Structure formats: C-alpha cells, structure tokens
Amino acid sequence: MEPFHQDIYRIASPPLEETHLEGDDIVHSFGFGYDHLTETYKVVAVFFEENELESEIMVHTVGTDYWRRIEEEFPGLPEDNSGKFVSGTINWITFANAMWYVIVSFDLGKESCHQLCLPAELEDGFILGVLRDCLCVFSENDMFCDIWVMKEHGNEESWTKLFSISHDLGRNPPLYISEDDDEVLLPSFSNLVVCNYEYICDMVFKIFDIQNSRVWMLPKILDEPEVYAESLISPCPLY
C-alpha cells in the first residue's frame, strides 16, 4: 500500500485594498468558488460596518492581479466569516434589515446578490452547511436538531426537512447522509457517529437516536472534522 500523502496548494492573490468604510467596528467575510460562465475561480470579500450596517463587496478573479469593487451593497450582516459555495453561488446566513435572518446568495457569474428565505418552521439557533451539493440548514429546537435541505438551489419551495437528531448526539451539523436516507454521519462530542436507527414521527420525518449506532473516537487534535474532497474549493477557511 502506498503511503498516504496530501498536497496543499496556496493560490496567491494581490493585496486587498483598504475599504472605503469608516469606523472602528469593521468586520469582514470571505467566499471562494467556481464561476461556470467564465470558467474561472473567484474570491469574494465583503466588508461591514456593524453599527451602520454599511457594506462593500470586492471580487478577485484568480489569475488576475487586482480586485474589483462591486457597486451593489451586501444586504445585512452575515453570521459566519466564510460563505458556503453551491451551484455557482456563495451563501451566508445574514441578519437582515428586516430584523430577521435570511440567506444572502452572491451569484459569481452575475456578481450580484439576492435573498432566499429560510424554512418558516425554523427556531433560533441555526447553521448553514452543504449536503449533497445542496444548501442545508441545521436548526435546534427544544427536543431535537433538525436538518433542512434546499433540493433546488434558489427555489424556496424546495426546502425539505430530512431528519431530526436527538440532542443526545450533540449539536453539530452532519457530515454526510446516505443516498438511501437511512444513515447519517455526524460529529458527536469527541466522536464520529453513524446512526442507522430510525422511526417515523407523524409520517413526516425520521428521528435518529443513539441506539444501533457505530462510534469512532476522533484524534484529540481534530476538534471539528470536515468532509475531504479533491477540489480547489476549500470546505473551511485557513487561519
């Protein structure tokens, strides 16, 4: 057996110009993805002035030596410091001016933003992720953690609740769901757990519990596991 090895490639980008925003409470968020229209990779940087809810969007096309400022403002304040790449777009859960959370989706081809509604049944405490190349939302309620998937990107009517996971398994988003929807892989405290126990609740969605689960201990240095795929699209930011 050949020894396992992993190559790490770093893509250099030109220095990012200082933002035109003023104030001491400026924060930023980044995204990286593939533009199918131009067949190029792009980096998106969004700057925010928290108190005034003002923003600027900068785009760098990999292979060029400059950043471009987009005239459009980013609507709201994102929850994460990195966006999720799906179907030619970079997506953030964002606290909007309407005092509610939405998904802001930046189209890499059109270089413009549009907003997507979250499932109406969501309660407080949710995380945006990607499963099966679809946007997903991991949401907590009093009893379970629910997994929602947008099966058709951009179609808010395609939100579908796949599973509810017992709090006994922790409160972390899943890493993988089987094609037959009968097993889920998720980090649970310091373990990796595959759950294949299910029962039907009101004939609507499946509840995964701790019974009949396979558990693996994670290395102590690995606090937040990620799904590995050979791609230029990084699943997590490098610090």
C-alpha–C-alpha distance, residues 37 and 34, integer Å = 9
Residues 34/232, Cβ–Cβ less than 8 Å: yes
**Residue 19: predicted pLDDT:** 61
**205: nearest Cα among 159, 173, 156:** 159
Largest CA distance in the chain: 58
Q: Which long-range contacts (CB under 8 A, 24 or more apart) does 236-239 make?
A: 236/82, 237/30, 237/81, 237/82
104-118 burial: b if 16+ Cβ within 10 Å, else e: bbbbbeebebeebeb
C-alpha–C-alpha distance, residues 44 and 76, integer Å = 16
**Residue 2: predicted pLDDT:** 47
19-34 burial: b if 16+ Cβ within 10 Å, else e: beeeeeebeebbbbbb
Q: Where are the domains of the chain?
A: 24-116, 124-223
Q: For strand 40-49 and strand 54-61, is the pairing parallel, antiparallel, or unpaired?
A: antiparallel
The radius of gyration of the chain from alpha carbons, rounded to an integer in Å, stands at 19
C-alpha–C-alpha distance, residues 122 and 39, integer Å = 36
C-alpha–C-alpha distance, residues 140 and 113, integer Å = 27
3-state SS class at 214: strand
**Residue 125: predicted pLDDT:** 74
**Residue 190: predicted pLDDT:** 72
**Residue 187: predicted pLDDT:** 79
Residues 107/72, Cβ–Cβ less than 8 Å: no
Q: Helix %, strand %, coil % for the chain, to 5?
A: 5, 45, 50
* Mean per-residue pLDDT pooled into runs of 10, the chain (239 residues): 50 68 72 91 86 80 89 82 91 78 93 90 80 86 83 90 79 79 76 70 60 60 58 50
What predicted TM-score, i.e. pTM, was given to this entire model? Answer: 0.79
**Residue 16: predicted pLDDT:** 72
C-alpha–C-alpha distance, residues 103 and 128, integer Å = 9
